Chains A and B, each alone.
Chain A
Amino acid sequence: MAPETRASDTVLMCTHCRCEIEFCSFCDRTECAAACCYGCLVIALAESKPPLHAHGG
């Protein structure tokens, strides 16, 4: 098989949930050692939001 048609040997996975991703959602890179999917990134950053008031204020 020609190199240009060979499937990629390495699959990038989210280091949190282990799902397959094309690139890291934080740094947009494919070779990130701490690769993170969009869903896990949103959860990670949203977790640190100030808690909303129970009364909706």
Chain B
Amino acid sequence: MGFREVYDYEAGKSDWLAAGLPSEGALARLPRAGDVARKDVPTCGLDDRVGDVRERAEKAGWDVCVVVNEERIVLGLMRAEELAGDPKQTAEQAMRPGPSTFRPHVPIEEMAAHMVEHDAPSSPITTSEGRLVGVLLREDAEREAHRLHQAVHEHHEEEKHGT
């Protein structure tokens, strides 16, 4: 085939996709959680004060902050409820530890359906090692899923009418 340098990714294709790495093929064009997740979500460390974190998050227009370590591994999540707590507390004391996280390769319509079903306003997206990719907002997930649904519908209509 003409390839001179070939590597074997031992962790496998699922792990490659779960890390949010690029892929090819027809399915690769479909939007996934990692594509839609907002990468500019505010983050803080365990020792940061809730009051400071809230102020920073509010200035950036967020009501959620992800608690991470130096390697951006997700340790906890602070939603509006936690951010409204005692401003003198540390993030470690106030956060929800070990929140549910989702991999970047999960199809957006799947995430949208789950977020609606569970009434979840946002979901952290991480690699399989737990490194933060971004936060998926329900409104973004629903909008993308709707857009995808419409595109598929229009494609079927075009095929039906032979255009």
Contacts and interface: CB of A to CB of B under 8 A. Distances in A.
Given A49-B14, A50-B17, A32 B118 contact: yes
Interface stretch (B36-44, B65-73, B96-104): B96-104
Interface in B16-40: 17, 23, 25, 27-28
The binding surface of chain A is classed by DSSP as: loop
Interface string B109-121: 0100010011110
Contacts of B13: 52-53, 56-57
Interface of B: 13-14, 17, 23, 25, 27-28, 96, 99-100, 102-103, 105-107, 110, 114, 117-120
A20 interface: no
Interface string A25-38: 11111001010100
A27 B119 contact: yes
Interface of A: 24-29, 32, 34, 36, 41, 44-45, 48-50, 52-53, 56-57
Contacts of B99: 28
A48 B105 CA distance: 9
Contacts of B100: 25-28, 41
B102 A45 contact: yes
A50 B17 CA distance: 9
B105 A49 contact: yes
Which of B23, B99, B107, B117: most chain A CB closer than 10 A? B117
Given A45-B102, A45-B106, A48-B107, A26 B120 contact: yes
B106 A26 contact: no
Contact of A28 (B14, B96, B107, B117): B96
B25 A45 contact: no
A48 B106 contact: yes
